[in-house]
Amino acid sequence: MSPRLLWIAIIVFALVACTTEDPAPIGSLSTPVADLPISINFENTVSELATPVSDAIIAEADAEYTLLSNIYERTTPGVVNIEADLPGNTPQNPNVSRGSGFIYDTAGHIITNTHVVQNATTIRVTFNDGYVSEASIVGTDTYSDLALIRVDTAPSRLSPLTLMPDSDLIRVGQRAIAIGNPFGLSSSMTIGIVSGLGRNLRSAEILDANAPIGFQNPSIIQTDAPVNPGNSGGPLLNSQGEVMGVTTAIRSDNGIFQGVGFAVPSNTVRRVIPDLMSNGRVSYAWMGISVQPEDNGYSVAGLAEPLNLPVSQGVLIRGVTIGGPADEAGIRGGTRTVQVRGQTVCIGGDIIVAINGEYVASMDELVSYLIVNTRPGDRANLLIVREQETFAVSVILRERPSADAAVRDCVG
């Protein structure tokens, strides 16, 4: 066969093979092994992809934690652990109250809760560095649950914390930092937010569940920063490291934190502590009025529509204490009762809408104003709404009596 014919035969054979055989799978391409890379350095590839982020990004991400660490380092020297031996305390039958506190000044004064030190026979204060000193009670106030104790030690050992200048500026949602000694774990920090304002606590309830209800402690700060037994009396701080409140209680079914904690605001602290320091007790101004319980929709705002009240905010007076400041000023209580949403409501009394030029929306706001801004003997100028008329009334405040007095309530 000639060479020309041989080449034609080879070409025809190749064409027939291509049309009769299945194409090779893509994964079976017959590229020579020698032409492929011998190895791939996966280690180098991963390390190139996982390059550390810049220091600037890390600093931005850690800014909050840097702030918290700084606040902790600045304030923990001023936070102390308190142990109070109560009557009957023995090694066999311990009766010890434990809590926290914080240094108020370089004279050795320490702020804590009344329920931590009340009736104590001995009080031991443990500082952040482990130093222990005995303390004496300067004064207690069951109404605010604030107490002032004092240690006799060198001023150089004392690192006072700073009170927030005006706790009325606190807003729901801002950062709340609690430092204390929960379960005896010294200098523990927990973080949360201010989750509510203007709460109230029954002062007697804090100290004795079987005691009479007593007065309400208004303007309480609510927080979700975890607080537990042992935190009582410690500081609740803002982002500047200032004390915006004194942790005082939790709302719980089992005694362990369940998301709701309370603190006495710094404005109340600033009002109470000087009295405790000078007199060992606190004198509160008293007006001598009583009101319909305002919760569950029975405030003036909740009653304005069903009772056709002339205002939608204020304090609807139910009764006045006979011979008390309000009674002497001619303020009137309720005259009759009606049913509103299935509950008896006393109506016909005066409505207080302002005190000394400050509008008040509820009894809690009125009491809070009296606590922080007035003292016994002060004159309070009230704006009163009676039926469809508005007029001013001047009341000379007195010291709150230690026992209940007769009240003129729902009478003509």
Q: How far apart are CA 334 and CA 322, in angstroms?
A: 14
For residue 260 the two structure tokens come to 């709701």
First-residue to last-residue Cα distance in the chain: 140
Residues 6+ apart with CB under 8 A from 384: 331, 350, 351, 352, 353, 390, 391, 392, 393
Q: How far apart are CA 284 and CA 314, in angstroms?
A: 22
H or E stretch covering 381: strand 379-386
DSSP symbol at 157: G
CA 378 to chain CA centroid, nearest Å: 31
Catalytic residue among 167, 188, 203, 232: 232
How crowded is residue 72: how many other Cβ atoms within 10 Å of its Cβ? 17
Where b means 16+ CB within 10 Å and e means fewer, 98-133 reads: bbbbbbbeeebbbbbbbbbbbebeebbbbbbeeeeb
CA distances from 382 to 161, 294, 395 (A): 37, 20, 7
Catalytic residue among 97, 115, 144, 219: 115
Of 203, 192, 241, 247, nearest to 221 (Cα)? Answer: 247
List the beta strands (DSSP E) in 233-299: 235-237, 243-250, 261-265, 285-286, 289-291
Asked if 185 contacts 230 with a C-beta cutoff of 8 angstroms, the reply is yes
Catalytic residue among 97, 109, 145, 266: 145
Q: How far apart are CA 215 and CA 205, in angstroms?
A: 10
Asked if 348 contacts 334 with a C-beta cutoff of 8 angstroms, the reply is yes
Beta bridge partners of 101: 80
Does residue 109 carry a catalytic annotation?
no
Asked if 206 contacts 145 with a C-beta cutoff of 8 angstroms, the reply is yes
Does residue 115 carry a catalytic annotation?
yes
Q: How far apart are CA 159 and CA 76, in angstroms?
A: 9
Place of tokens 């410690």: 234
* CA diameter of the chain: 142
Residues labelled as active-site residues: 115, 145, 232
